[in-house]
Amino acid sequence: MTALLLNILIQGVLLGGLYALFAIGLALSVGVVRLVNIAHGDLIVLASFGLLWLTQYAGLPLWAAFLALVPVMSGLGYGLQQGLLRRVADKGLLPPLLVTFGISIIIQNGLLEAFGADTRSFASGALQTASWRLTEGVYVGALPLLTLAVAVCLIFAIDRLIYASHFGARLRAVSEGPATASLIGLPVDRVYGLALALVGATISIAALFLGLRMNFDPLSGPARLIVAFEVIVLGGLGNLWGILAGGILLGVAQSVGGAVDAPLQVLAGHLVFLFLILLRPQGLFRKN
C-alpha cells in the first residue's frame, strides 16, 4: 500500500517537473510583460511540431533540431512583441488578450492544415523506458527525472538572470514601472521583446520534453495553456521557485486523481486549482 502511495507521489512530483517547464514561459510573460498569452500552449505545440518537422522531414537528430529551433522561437517571441503586441499595449485590457486569442486559433488551424489531426510524439530510444527501481513496486523513470532536473536548472538559471544581471535589472524595472522606465530612457518595447525572446527559448525546451513525454496534436495547445496557468496561479507570481512548487502540487493532484480513475486525472487537477483559488487567490508564494 505504501509502495502504491509512494509511486503516486513520485510520479506526481516528476510530472510536476514537466508542468513547471510549461509554466516558466508563461510566468515570465505575465511577470515581465504583463501579458497572459492565450496562445502560450499553442506556441509550445507549434515548437513541438517544428521539432517534428526538423527531425522527420529534414532528417536532423533531435538535439540538432532543438538547437536550430531555439533561435527561431526566440525570434518569433521578439517579433510577436514588436510586430503585434506593441501596437495594442496601450489600448486597454482586452486587445492584447484578444490578439493572443486570435493567434491561438490561427496556430491551431494552421497546424491542422499542415500536419493533419493525428497525435504525434518523439522517440527517444533507450531514455524513454529506462528507469530505476527504488524499492518494491516503486519506480523512477529516467526521462521524467531528467525533465524535473532540467526544470530545476532552468528556473535556477532564469532566477540568476533576473536577479543578478544587468538585463535582469532592466526586466524588473520595466515590470515594476513601465512608465518610469520610459521616462528614464529605457527602451521598454525592446526590453519586452527580449523578454519574449527568452520566453521563446523556454518554450523550445518545454516543447522538447512535451514531445518526449506526451503526445501532442494541433489542438492540444489550450490544454497546455491551462496547465501552465494553473501552475502559476497555484505557485503565485512572486517567486520563480513557486513555479516548481505549483507544478509539483498540480502533478501530485493529477497523479492522485489518475490513480483513482484514469479519466479523473485532469479533473482532479482542476478541482485542486479551483479549491485553492477559493482559499488563497494570491497563490502559495508571496512576492519576493
Q: In the 8-state DSSP scheme, what is residue 85?
A: I
Q: How many residues bind another protein (CB under 8 A)?
A: 57
Q: Is 140 helix (H, G, I), strand (E, B) or coil?
A: strand
Judged by CB, which is closer to another protein: 60, or 177? 177
Q: What are phi and psi of 132, to 5 degrees?
A: -110, 145
Report which secondary-structure segment, H or E, holds 133. Answer: strand 131-135
Which of these segments, 16-24, 69-77, 141-149, 169-177, binds another protein (CB under 8 A)?
A: 169-177
Kindly give the interhelix angle for 241-260 and 264-279, rounded to the nearest 10 degrees: 130
**Which residues between 208 and 227 bind another protein (CB under 8 A)?**
222, 225-226
Which of these segments, 5-13, 105-113, 202-210, 239-247, binds another protein (CB under 8 A)?
A: 105-113
Q: Is 239 helix (H, G, I), strand (E, B) or coil?
A: coil
139 lines the binding site for another protein (CB under 8 A): no
145 lines the binding site for another protein (CB under 8 A): no
Partner residues linked to 129 by β-bridges: none
130 lines the binding site for another protein (CB under 8 A): no
Partner residues linked to 138 by β-bridges: 135
260 lines the binding site for another protein (CB under 8 A): no
Residue from 47, 62, 208, 233 touching another protein (CB under 8 A): that is 233
Q: How many CB atoms lie within 10 A of CB 136?
A: 7
Q: What is the CA radius of gyration of the chain?
A: 19
Partner residues linked to 49 by β-bridges: none
Q: What residue ranges bind another protein (CB under 8 A)?
A: 30, 36, 38, 84, 87-88, 91-95, 97-99, 101-106, 108-110, 112-113, 166, 169-170, 172-173, 176-177, 180-187, 222, 225-226, 229-230, 233, 263, 266-267, 270-271, 273-274, 277-278, 281, 288
